[in-house]
């Protein structure tokens, strides 16, 4: 079930990112909290916030593919790994800086996304899901067996790099960097979904036959959706390498692909804000349940099932219902 949409009566309203005094108030509060977090929060809270921002980048990119274009992917851990290892190898073996490494990671993952998107022209539904699943498993097996490239079980340790004079080994500098990249990519995603590209994605999702008859180039936009989604995952993978300090093949298993997919579903399909909410919730939930030992996975799964049972449209749909309630109150 897609998240409900708010009715807009003009193109200017559709392009507006924030509307109303409540929207601006909420934006100001969130912005203040994010700015003050590295000053007041302990190191562990800062680590979890940075991790949530990385997951939000993956979820937003995956929602562009799944929620807006209707193309299922269960292999996003593969794109995540491509970006992470490209960035790590560029830093360790070529000696490049953070920004060139990030660009290389984005380009490599987008290229792989384009290649994987080509079968999407003839596949759909479970067949496409299996194709993307195979890609994710193949990438994991390559990393496990090609130890000269990935470091194998020993892992690939990232060097200390500096950005604007600050070391990314410092938790606060890393948090600010990841947050800045995440905000930029979220802004791009919002603008993209409200442009003609986003409308082409939605047309393909609703009916690719009708979209093609309307003049939408299926080859261009399906492969573009895969490339963009993979680019987001690759950038997130590059950032994750700095969050953890090292890379190891077991970080990029099938579980990670399902984990990313569940963020999108729980947050709400075809909703950028829902992707962020889902990523934050499913990042915080395991941390909150970490003291329960073996029961963590059971409780985690039960929590996801309950959310989808009582709100099939995801957290974004629930948030829009709350907004409509307050706008109509006390009627």
Q: What is the pLDDT along the chain (331 residues), one digit of tens a residue?
A: 444 555 566 655 655 666 666 677 777 888 898 888 988 889 999 999 999 999 999 999 999 999 999 999 999 999 999 999 999 999 999 989 999 999 999 999 999 999 999 987 888 888 999 999 999 999 999 999 999 888 887 889 999 999 988 999 999 999 999 999 999 999 999 999 989 999 999 999 999 899 999 999 999 999 999 999 999 999 999 999 999 999 999 999 999 999 999 999 999 999 999 999 999 999 998 888 877 777 777 887 888 888 888 888 888 888 888 877 776 766 5
Question: What 3 state SS string does the chain have?
Answer: CCCCCCCCCCHHHHHCCCCHHHHHHHHHHHHHHHHHHHHHCCHHHHHHHHHHHHHHHHHHHHHHHHHHCCCCCCCHHHHHHHHHHHHHHHHHHCCCCHHHHHHHHHHHHHHHHHHHHHHHHCCCHHHHHHHHHHHHHHHHHHHHHCHHHHCHHHCEECCCCEECCEECCCHHHHHHHHHHHHHHHHHHHHHHHCCHHHHHHHHHHHCHHHHHHCCCCHHHHHHHHHHHHHHHHHHHHHHHHHHHCEECHHHCCHHHHHHHHHHHHHHCCCCHHHHHHHHHHHHHHHHHCHHHHHHHHHHHHHHHHHHHHHCCCHHHHHHHHHHHHHHHCCC
The whole model's pTM is what? 0.92
């Amino acid at each position: 079930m897609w998240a409900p949409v708010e009715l807009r009566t003009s193109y200017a309203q559709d392009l507006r990112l924030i509307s109303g005094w409540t929207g601006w108030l909420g934006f100001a509060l969130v912005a203040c909290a994010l700015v003050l977090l590295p000053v007041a929060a302990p190191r562990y809270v800062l680590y979890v916030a940075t991790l949530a921002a990385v997951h939000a980048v993956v979820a937003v990119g995956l929602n562009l593919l799944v929620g807006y274009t209707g193309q299922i992917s269960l292999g996003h851990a593969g794109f995540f790994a491509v970006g992470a290892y490209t960035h790590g190898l560029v830093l360790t073996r070529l000696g490049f800086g953070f920004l060139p490494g990030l660009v290389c990671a984005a380009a490599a993952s987008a290229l792989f996304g384009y290649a994987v998107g080509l079968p999407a022209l003839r596949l759909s539904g479970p067949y496409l899901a299996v194709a993307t699943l195979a890609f994710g498993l193949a990438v994991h097996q390559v990393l496990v067996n090609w130890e000269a490239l990935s470091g194998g079980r020993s892992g690939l340790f990232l060097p200390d790099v500096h950005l604007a004079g600050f070391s990314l080994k410092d938790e606060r500098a890393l948090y600010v960097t990841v947050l800045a990249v995440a905000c930029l990519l979220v802004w791009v995603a919002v603008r993209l979904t409200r442009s003609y590209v986003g409308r082409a994605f939605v047309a393909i999702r609703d009916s690719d036959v009708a979209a093609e008859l309307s003049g939408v180039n299926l080859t261009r936009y399906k492969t573009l959706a895969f490339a963009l989604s993979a680019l987001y995952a690759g950038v997130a993978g590059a950032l994750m390498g700095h969050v953890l300090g090292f890379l190891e093949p077991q970080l990029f298993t099938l579980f990670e692909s399902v984990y990313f997919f569940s963020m999108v579903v729980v947050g709400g399909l075809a909703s950028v804000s829902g992707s962020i909410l889902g990523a934050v919730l499913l990042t915080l939930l395991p941390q909150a349940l970490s003291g329960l030992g073996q029961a963590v996975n059971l409780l985690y799964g039960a929590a996801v099932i309950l959310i989808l049972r009582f709100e099939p449209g995801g957290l974004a749909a629930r948030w829009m219902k709350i907004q409509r309630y307050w706008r109509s109150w006390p009627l």
